[in-house]
Amino acid sequence: MRTLLLALVLVLLPSPSFSDEEEAVQKYLDGLRGSKTAAFYAECQLQMGKVFAGKAALVFPAGERRGLYIERNDRMRVVNTAIVTLENGKWDMEDAHGGLLTIKRVSSLAAELLGSPFQLVQPDKLMDVVPSKPKKVCAEKLPE
């Protein structure tokens, strides 16, 4: 019964709209571009079956230990974000949106991306990576 009540409360809590998430990511990328800051970038393709379902990406401004996880749907609309921090060889994530399973899923995707090769993207090319369709497919594992 408690689980059902908790699930009901989580569903009824207000969450940021897509436009709020989209605006925050746009502002973040514009800030990097405006400050002429290059960024390290990694991405992978999300799939539903064999169909493209969006992408997950990590963006770390060059020289920074704090970056942004960005998840986009198949229409390239932002559906989730999280702050990812690297410290003493470990990483931490904060501010992901969703219930427990969603946060575990985002954490799993962030961990996968942190183990992926990053590319250095110049500030004037940052917006070019937004519409790109990643070649690498995320090895999404269902949270336990």
The pLDDT assigned to 97 comes to: 80
The pLDDT assigned to 139 comes to: 87
The pLDDT assigned to 132 comes to: 87
The pLDDT assigned to 98 comes to: 81
Are 44 and 136 a contacting pair, CB within 8 Å?
A: yes
Q: Max alpha carbon distance in the chain (Å)?
A: 53
Q: Residues in the chain with pLDDT < 70?
A: 1-18, 141-144
The pLDDT assigned to 102 comes to: 86
Computed from CA positions of residues 15, 6, 143, 91, in that sequence, does the dihedral angle turn out positive or negative?
positive
How far does CA 95 lie from the centroid of its chain? 11
For 120, the enclosing helix (H) or strand (E) is strand 119-121
